[in-house]
Chains A and B, each alone.
Chain A
Amino acid sequence: MKFLGIIVVVITGALLVYTTGDFPSWSDPASPASTHVSPHYIEKGMHETAAPNIVTAVLADYRGFDTLFETTVVFCAGVVCFFLLRIPGRSPFTECQYRHKATGITVRVKHDRKMSGSFGEFERIDTLWTPHDLIIQTACRILIPFIQLFALYVIAHGHHSPGGGFQGGVILGASIILLAISHDLRTALDRLGEKAHAILCSVGVLVYAGTGAVCMVLGFNFLDYGALARILHVDPVMARSHGILVVEVGVGLAVMAALIWIYSNVSSRGNYDEGL
Chain B
Amino acid sequence: MSEIISSVVAHYNYWIYIALMMIGLYAVIGKKNLIKKIIGVNIFQTAIILFYVSIGAKKGATIPIIHHGPGGGHHETTASVIEASQYMNPLPHVLMLTAIVVAVATLGVALALAIKVYNQYGTLEEDEILSRIRVR
**Which residues from chain A sit less than 8 Å from chain B, CB to CB?**
1-2, 4-6, 8-10, 12-13, 16-17, 20-21, 23, 25-29, 31, 33-34, 37-39, 41-43, 45-46, 50, 52-55, 58-59, 63, 66-67, 70, 73-74, 77-78, 80-81, 84-85, 160-162, 164, 166-167, 169-170, 238, 241, 255, 258-259, 262-263, 265-266, 269-270
Which of B14, B56, B108 is A77 in contact with, Cβ under 8 Å?
B108
Asked whether, in the complex, the Cβ of A166 is within 8 Å of the Cβ of B84, the reply is no
Q: How far is the CA of A34 from the CA of B119 in the complex (A)?
A: 49
Residues of A within 8 A of B113 (CB): 84
Which of B21, B64, B77, B84 is A55 in contact with, Cβ under 8 Å?
B64
- Please tell me if B2 contacts chain A, counting CB pairs below 8 Å: no
Q: How far is the CA of A33 from the CA of B94 in the complex (A)?
A: 13
Asked whether, in the complex, the Cβ of B59 is within 8 Å of the Cβ of A54, the reply is no
A54-B66, A80-B109 given; A6·B84 CB < 8 A = no
A12-B25, A77-B109 given; A58·B94 CB < 8 A = yes
Asked whether, in the complex, the Cβ of A80 is within 8 Å of the Cβ of B11, the reply is no
Nearest neighbor of B113 in chain A, beta-carbon distance: A84
Q: Top 10 A-B pairs ranked by shortest CB distance?
A: A262-B108, A77-B105, A5-B29, A39-B84, A25-B10, A5-B30, A70-B98, A27-B57, A20-B14, A54-B64
Nearest neighbor of B54 in chain A, beta-carbon distance: A26
- How near does chain A come to B88, taking the closest CB pair, in angstroms? 8
- How near does chain B come to A143, taking the closest CB pair, in angstroms? 21
Q: How far is the CA of A241 from the CA of B92 in the complex (A)?
A: 21
Asked whether, in the complex, the Cβ of A266 is within 8 Å of the Cβ of B54, the reply is no
Residues of A within 8 A of B108 (CB): 77-78, 81, 259, 262-263, 265-266
Nearest neighbor of A34 in chain B, beta-carbon distance: B89
Asked whether, in the complex, the Cβ of A16 is within 8 Å of the Cβ of B75, the reply is no
- How near does chain B come to A246, taking the closest CB pair, in angstroms? 17
Nearest neighbor of A19 in chain B, beta-carbon distance: B14
Residues of B within 8 A of A13 (CB): 18-19, 21-22
Q: How far is the CA of A50 from the CA of B75 in the complex (A)?
A: 6
12 residue pairs of the A-B complex, CB under 8 angstroms, read A26-B11, A26-B57, A45-B90, A52-B68, A52-B74, A55-B65, A58-B94, A77-B109, A81-B108, A81-B109, A259-B104, A266-B108
- Please tell me if B82 contacts chain A, counting CB pairs below 8 Å: yes
Which of B68, B89, B112 is A81 in contact with, Cβ under 8 Å?
B112
Other A-B pairs, 19, CB within 8 Å; known A6-B30, A259-B104, A270-B115: A5-B26, A17-B14, A17-B18, A26-B54, A33-B56, A33-B89, A38-B90, A41-B91, A53-B64, A74-B101, A74-B102, A160-B74, A166-B98, A170-B104, A258-B105, A259-B105, A262-B105, A262-B112, A266-B108
- How near does chain A come to B81, taking the closest CB pair, in angstroms? 8
Residues of A within 8 A of B57 (CB): 26-27
- How near does chain A come to B85, taking the closest CB pair, in angstroms? 5
Residues of A within 8 A of B94 (CB): 55, 58-59, 63
A16-B18, A166-B97, A170-B101 given; A26·B7 CB < 8 A = no
Asked whether, in the complex, the Cβ of A67 is within 8 Å of the Cβ of B98, the reply is yes
Q: How far is the CA of A9 from the CA of B85 in the complex (A)?
A: 37
